[in-house]
Amino acid sequence: MEHHRLYAEDDHDRSLQDRRVTVLSLMETVTEFEPRLVGPLLAGTAAEDAPANLHLFADAAEDLVWFLESQAIEYRPFDRRVRVQRGRSETYPGFRFDWRDLPIEATVFPYDGLRQAPLSPVDGKPMKRASIKKVRKLVAAA
């Protein structure tokens, strides 16, 4: 049993690292959207099949649509409701797509959203978000 636990943990760590490397490659491709990694992949708790969650910033969601279409990336739009303050939520456009076989859920915020992270549904505090620089450090530390 101990053997299985140790090796399962190694497999999880390796998978987590591979997924972070993949999402970093996407973040480096979409720098104009000021990408931020959020959620379980950042926290290190992502399940094997969980999507990587990104916050992107643009004047209009159509800017991301244009990028995805120019790269021939199939996507599915969705709406994401997030708490921006206690007692107040807003809905933002999101897009599901795959990047190098990694499922991605990208939510597009206006540029002023960079200053204030939405509140976490888990603890009500501002969501932890990682820039490209921080994700590079995570990858290098593994």
pLDDT in tens, 27-45: 999 999 999 999 999 999 9
User: Domains (ranges, CATH) in the chain?
Assistant: 2-141 (3.30.460)
The four Cα atoms 48, 50, 54, 132 give a dihedral, to 10 degrees, of: -10
pLDDT in tens, 84-108: 888 899 999 999 999 999 999 999 9
Instruction: Give percent of the chain with pLDDT exceeding 70.
Output: 92
Give the residue among 117, 91, 142 at the shortest CA–CA distance from 36: 117
What was the pLDDT predicted at 108? 98
What was the pLDDT predicted at 21? 97
Q: Which residues contact 27 (CB under 8 A, 6 or more apart)?
A: 35, 37, 54, 132, 135
